[in-house]
Every structure is written in structure tokens, then in C-alpha cells.
């Protein structure tokens, strides 16, 4: 029976690399502190490119690898917290324009670092219901544009990049299950407080730097570890799959310590885990598809490989997915 499958993956990272030593010159921090607390060594920063440029380059690669033409795509959904424009047009519309499409469903979603898991759930529903044939999902972020480069508690964590995948119906190698969730009561722990309807843009919101990301890192950290561990245990149990059967565990790349904690609880080996946090930092909705692409390009991810994905982010939102890779 035909079901939704991830038939391709693509990614793009901007060229410029910002090292921990560069950050030592910008804020009071050290390479040693950043590596010990986060596992991050470098992150890529977009200079002359905006979020839709990053998303377009990842999307183009994913469409080519799916052996499709842009005109075969009938829905484009972009997850981002750093859109080209605050309200409109959507970044998905901007990417559709770059792809040369003028008649396609296109919209953005906002689920922070869990964006790509939410995208999988939406795309699966659209293709399995018969509403759409080939759904292009994109996680694209220019987080450097919403980062306070004077706040050492956040600026060392984030980077820019994009990842994309095409979801279509196939006979085998399906998306087995997707779980998404949220708890809005903790929204203020990870927030961009300014420039929305609560604090419309004014000189005051700019002076207070409310348009940048604010995070209570330590509190987020504790909730993330507990929530993610329970979530991946649940999705494995629900589907009768043992952690030893997973070919690749591809978590959201926020912090090496969070990933290691979940890895240890599940008893996953290093060979099963895909890690890109050291070189890319946290790229929010882009981090999972960028990591899937890394595994694909290094030959670790093959047609039929069983992947376990998990993510946690602002909202709070979280989720996990089990899928066999349908790309070749």
C-alpha cells in the first residue's frame, strides 16, 4: 500500500564560518566554555543571503535528487522563526518564486526547533489524504538576524542554514509515525518578546532589544532532556521498535549534552547517532534536515535506513518521528 515517504533530502550552509575564537573577541566567553557546555566549535553565518535564499538552495537540491522538476511540487511549506519578513509575504512564497512557481500552495509554520517534525506530520497528512502529490518541506533559518550579539548566553549557540525534503507516496520506505506536541505555559522561557502584537515595535522595544531571542538556558535545558527522553521512549514503544533496531538517531542539534543524555537513556551507540552540532551550532528548524543531509552525503544514510528523529524548542514544542529513508 502506498504511503508517505521522504524521497529525497537536500541542504545548504552559507560559506562564512564564525569560530569560538572569533566570539571570544565579541563577548566575554571562551572556546573552552562553549565546547564544554554545548559541544559547538563553529557555526555558519549568512552574509549577503536571506532565509529564502538558504531555503531555495536546499530545496533545489532536494527536488533534483528526487528526480522531479519544480513544477511537480504542489505544496511548499517552510518552518522558520527567522522569516524574510515578519508577517508577509511568507518565506515559502518567496522560495516558490525563486523556484519559478506561480501556482502552488505555499505557507510557513512556526514551531521553532521542532519545525521539521511538524512539517513531516503535515506533509504526511497531505499526501496520504490525496490532497497533494509532492510536498516540499523546508527548514530554513537566518538566526544571526534575530541574535543579540552582545548576549553571551545565546549568541554562542546559534547558526544559519537550511535543509529540505520531498514527501511523496511510495510503496515502501514510509514515514512510520510522527508525534508532535506543545506546552504553551512555558513559552516565556524561550521567546522573541518584541515586534509582535504584545509588544509592537517602538523605540522602546528596540532599545530593550526585545526583537532578539531571549532564553532561560538552564531551565530550558532541564525540560528538554526530560521531555525528549520520554517522547522517544514512547514513539519506539508505540511502534514496537527497539532502540537497537534504529540505524540512525538524528536529533535536533541544540546542545551535545542534551543529545548525549537522550542517547544514554536509550542505550544508543555512537555509530547510531548523527552529530553536526560541533560544526553548525543550533540552526533551529533547519538542524534535523541538515543533519539528515550530512548522513546522506557521508554514505551513512541509505535507501531503507530506519531513522529516529527528535526535537524540542520554543513554545514549548517537541516531537519525534520514525521513518525509513525513501531516497536513493
Binding site for ligand COA (CB under 6 A): 29, 33-34, 37-38, 113, 152-153, 156, 190, 217-218, 220-221, 224, 254-255, 258, 282, 312-313
Provide, rounded to whole angstroms, the least separation between the CB of residue 212 and ligand COA. 15
Element housing 36 (H / E)? helix 31-38
What's the min distance (Å) between Cβ of 321 and ligand COA?
A: 17
Of 133, 121, 8, the C-alpha closest to 61 is: 8
Strand partners, 180: 319
Q: Tell me the closest approach of the beta carbon of residue 124 to ligand COA, in angstroms.
A: 24
**Residue of closest CB approach to ligand COA:** 217
Nearer to ligand COA, 160 or 247 (CB): 160
Instruction: Give the CA distances from residue 224 to residues 48, 109, 258, in Å, rounded to whole numbers and listed in that order.
Output: 33, 21, 7
Strand-by-strand arrangement of the 248-251 sheet: 175-182, 317-324, 306-313, 248-251
The string of DSSP codes covering 67-122 is: T--GGG--EEEEE-SS-SSSSSS-HHHHHHHHTT-SS-EEEEE--GGGHHHHHHHH
Phi-psi region of 83 (alpha: psi -120 to 50; beta: other; left: phi over 0): beta
Residue 72's closest CA among 7, 154, 23?
A: 7
Q: How much of the chain is helix, strand and coil, in % rounded to 5?
A: 40, 25, 35
Catalogue the active-site residues: 113, 252, 282
Sole residue written with cell 535543509: 163
Rounded Cα gap, residues 137 and 297, in angstroms: 19
- Dist CA 109 CA 112 (whole Å): 9
Q: Any idea what the Cα angle at residue 83 is, between residues 17 and 203, rounded to 5°?
A: 95
To ligand COA, the closest distance from the beta carbon of 112 in angstroms equals 7
Rounded least distance, CB 23 to ligand COA, Å: 8
The residue (of 99 and 277) whose beta carbon lies closer to ligand COA is 277
Cell triple for residue 68? 522531479
**Least distance (Å) between residue 114 CB and ligand COA:** 9
Amino acid at each position: 500500500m502506498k504511503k508517505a515517504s521522504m524521497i529525497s533530502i537536500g541542504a545548504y550552509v552559507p560559506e562564512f564560518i564564525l569560530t569560538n575564537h572569533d566570539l571570544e573577541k565579541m563577548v566575554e566567553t571562551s572556546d573552552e566554555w562553549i565546547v564544554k557546555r554545548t559541544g559547538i566549535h563553529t557555526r555558519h553565518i549568512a552574509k549577503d543571503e536571506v532565509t529564502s535564499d538558504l531555503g531555495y538552495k536546499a530545496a533545489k537540491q532536494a527536488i533534483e535528487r528526487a528526480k522531479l522538476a519544480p513544477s511537480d511540487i504542489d505544496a511548499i511549506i517552510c518552518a522558520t522563526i527567522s522569516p524574510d519578513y515578519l508577517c508577509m509575504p511568507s518565506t515559502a512564497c518567496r522560495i516558490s518564486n525563486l523556484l519559478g512557481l506561480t501556482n502552488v500552495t505555499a505557507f510557513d509554520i512556526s514551531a521553532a526547533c521542532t519545525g521539521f517534525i511538524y512539517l513531516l506530520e503535515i506533509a504526511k497528512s497531505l499526501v496520504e489524504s490525496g490532497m497533494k502529490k509532492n510536498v516540499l518541506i523546508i527548514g530554513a533559518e537566518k538566526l544571526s538576524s534575530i541574535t543579540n550579539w552582545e548576549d553571551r548566553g545565546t549568541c554562542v549557540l546559534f547558526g544559519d542554514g537550511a535543509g529540505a525534503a520531498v514527501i511523496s507516496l511510495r510503496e515502501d520506505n514510509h514515514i512510520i509515525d510522527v508525534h508532535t506536541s506543545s506546552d504553551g505555559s512555558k513559552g516565556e522561557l524561550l521567546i522573541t518578546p518584541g515586534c509582535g502584537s504584545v509588544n509592537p515595535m517602538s523605540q522602546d522595544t528596540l532599545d530593550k532589544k526585545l526583537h532578539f531571542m531571549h532564553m532561560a538556558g538552564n531551565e530550558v535545558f532541564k525540560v528538554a532532556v526530560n521531555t525528549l527522553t520520554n517522547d522517544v521512549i514512547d514513539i519506539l514503544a508505540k511502534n514496537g521498535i527497539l532502540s537497537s533496531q534504529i540505524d540512525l538517531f538524528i536529533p535536533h542539534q541544540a546542545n551535545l549534552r542534551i543529545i548525549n543524555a537522550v542517547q544514554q537513556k536509550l542505550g544508543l551507540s555512537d555509530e547510531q547517532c548523527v552529530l553536526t552540532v560541533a560544526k553548525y551550532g543550533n540552526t533551529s528548524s533547519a538542524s534535523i534536515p541538515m543533519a539528515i543531509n550530512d548522513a546522506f552525503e557521508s554514505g551513512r544514510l541509505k535507501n531503507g535506513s530506519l531513522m529516529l528523529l527528535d526535537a524540542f524548542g520554543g513554545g514549548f514544542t517537541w516531537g519525534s518521528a520514525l521513518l525509513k529513508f525513501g531516497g536513493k
